[in-house]
């Protein structure tokens, strides 16, 4: 098997001024971080987490994705101690790593962002929310319906960066061809019910690009009360590709996806969008074309002058 198309999409939503979510969509590594802490702190926390997770995974942290999450925790906590302006900042982190044969998914998770698997028309939540309302539901003191509208539903009980040590949930599961794996921040899961998410995945023809846009649109249509971030990828039958030489800094994480060959035009305003592997900006090509046009214009101008 291999990781097929992969899409990452983040939107500020309709109520917030800033986007404090961050994501990683670098097949076979995927992650979501939803920052908190006011001012710029939440944004900093989620960005530090995403960067630390990418670095630790690329370096082949021997404790795998859980080690990457702990490394991210340490980095945010240290920054928090050294900079009073961002003291107390924190973030969620949900990390997914596909093994080199694309047979196993390993998850590491802290907070209330989520990982889901969509298989054969069924959407299954793979992670457990570390949130106040989820704990009240688990202990039978709140129903799912009450939790969905609870005023403190965004309060999380575990976060990265707020303590020197963090307890990380880990989970490994087998993948099958045709599986879709979805990571999202609560800006999606609090606004769009699971059955609606499943319906949109199905309706999109299981295309990660189309589906991620549909999910973000649905969250905004439902009120868009929070930043909404979606990372979505598919598993396909086929041979994994070998690592793409020196370009794949992560030698221990061979790039198995053809995803970086695919790009799609952004269709949503104010959206951070990275389809495929998130590399390969079109800017260098555009600048080259502009430079060539400028040279051509000069040549024509000179030839007219010299006549
Ligand atoms: Ca959030």
pLDDT digit string (tens) for 119-152? 999 999 999 999 999 999 999 999 999 998 999 9
CA distances from 42 to 39, 46, 73, 85 (A): 7, 6, 14, 11
Q: How far apart are CA 24 and CA 204, in angstroms?
A: 22
Distance in Å, CA 19 to ligand 1 centroid: 9
Distance in Å, CA 13 to ligand 1 centroid: 10
pLDDT in the model for residue 61? 76
- Pick from 27-41, 147-161, 180-194 the range whose average pLDDT is largest: 180-194
Distance in Å, CA 185 to ligand 1 centroid: 6
Mean pLDDT across the chain, nearest whole number? Answer: 86
Domains of the chain: 2-282 (3.60.40.10)
Distance in Å, CA 183 to ligand 1 centroid: 13
Higher pLDDT, 265 or 1: 1
What's the whole-model pTM score? 0.79
Distance in Å, CA 178 to ligand 1 centroid: 29
By percentage, how much of the chain surpasses pLDDT 90? 72
Ligand 1 ion: nearby residues, β-carbon < 5 Å: 34, 185-186, 226
| CA-wise closest residue to 176 among 125, 120, 243, 259 | 120
pLDDT in the model for residue 79? 96
pLDDT in the model for residue 288? 75
Distance in Å, CA 227 to ligand 1 centroid: 6
Distance in Å, CA 104 to ligand 1 centroid: 28
pLDDT in the model for residue 280? 35
Q: How far apart are CA 25 and CA 2, in angstroms?
A: 15
Distance in Å, CA 112 to ligand 1 centroid: 8
Distance in Å, CA 263 to ligand 1 centroid: 27
Given its phi and psi angles, is residue 66 left (phi above 0), alpha (psi -120 to 50 degrees) or beta? alpha
Distance in Å, CA 200 to ligand 1 centroid: 21
pLDDT in the model for residue 252? 39
Q: How far apart are CA 268 and CA 265, in angstroms?
A: 9
Q: Is the dihedral of CA 45, 48, 52, 53 positive or negative?
A: positive
Answer whether 36's CB lies under 8 Å from 159's CB.
Answer: yes
pLDDT one-digit tens code per residue, 231-282? 999 999 988 766 554 444 444 333 333 333 333 333 343 445 444 433 334 5
Distance in Å, CA 261 to ligand 1 centroid: 31
Distance in Å, CA 142 to ligand 1 centroid: 21
* φ/ψ of residue 173, rounded to 5: -145, 155
- Strand locations in the chain (E): 2-11, 21-26, 29-36, 90-91, 93-98, 104-110, 114-119, 122-125, 169-174, 180-184, 228-236, 271-275
Distance in Å, CA 46 to ligand 1 centroid: 11
Distance in Å, CA 34 to ligand 1 centroid: 5
């Amino acid at each position: 098997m291999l990781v097929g198309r992969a899409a990452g999409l983040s939107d500020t939503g309709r109520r917030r001024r800033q986007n404090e979510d961050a994501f990683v969509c670098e097949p076979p590594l995927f992650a979501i971080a939803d920052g908190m802490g006011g001012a710029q702190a939440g944004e900093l926390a989620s960005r530090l987490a995403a960067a630390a997770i990418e670095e630790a995974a690329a370096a082949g942290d021997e404790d795998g994705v859980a080690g990457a999450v702990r490394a991210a925790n340490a980095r945010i906590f240290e920054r928090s101690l050294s900079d009073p302006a961002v003291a107390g900042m924190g973030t969620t982190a949900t990390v997914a790593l596909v093994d080199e044969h694309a047979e196993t998914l390993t998850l590491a998770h802290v907070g209330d962002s989520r990982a889901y698997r969509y298989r054969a028309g069924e959407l299954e939540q793979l992670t457990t929310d570390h949130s106040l309302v989820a704990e009240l539901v688990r202990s039978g003191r709140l129903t799912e319906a009450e939790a969905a509208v609870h005023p403190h539903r965004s309060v999380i009980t575990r976060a990265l960066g707020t303590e020197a040590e963090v307890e990380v949930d880990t989970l490994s599961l087998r993948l099958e061809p045709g599986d879709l794996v979805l990571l999202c921040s609560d800006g999606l899961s609090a606004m769009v019910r699971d059955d609606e998410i499943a319906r949109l995945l199905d309706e999109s023809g299981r295309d990660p690009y189309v589906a991620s846009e549909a999910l973000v649109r649905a969250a905004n249509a439902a009120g868009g009360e929070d930043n909404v971030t979606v990372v979505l990828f598919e598993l396909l039958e086929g041979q994994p590709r070998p690592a793409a030489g020196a370009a794949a800094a992560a030698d221990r994480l061979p790039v198995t996806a053809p995803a970086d060959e695919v790009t799609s035009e952004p269709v949503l305003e104010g959206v951070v969008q990275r389809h495929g592997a998130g590399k390969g900006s079109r800017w260098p090509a555009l600048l080259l074309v502009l430079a060539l046009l400028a040279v051509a214009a000069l040549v024509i101008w000179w030839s007219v002058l010299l006549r």
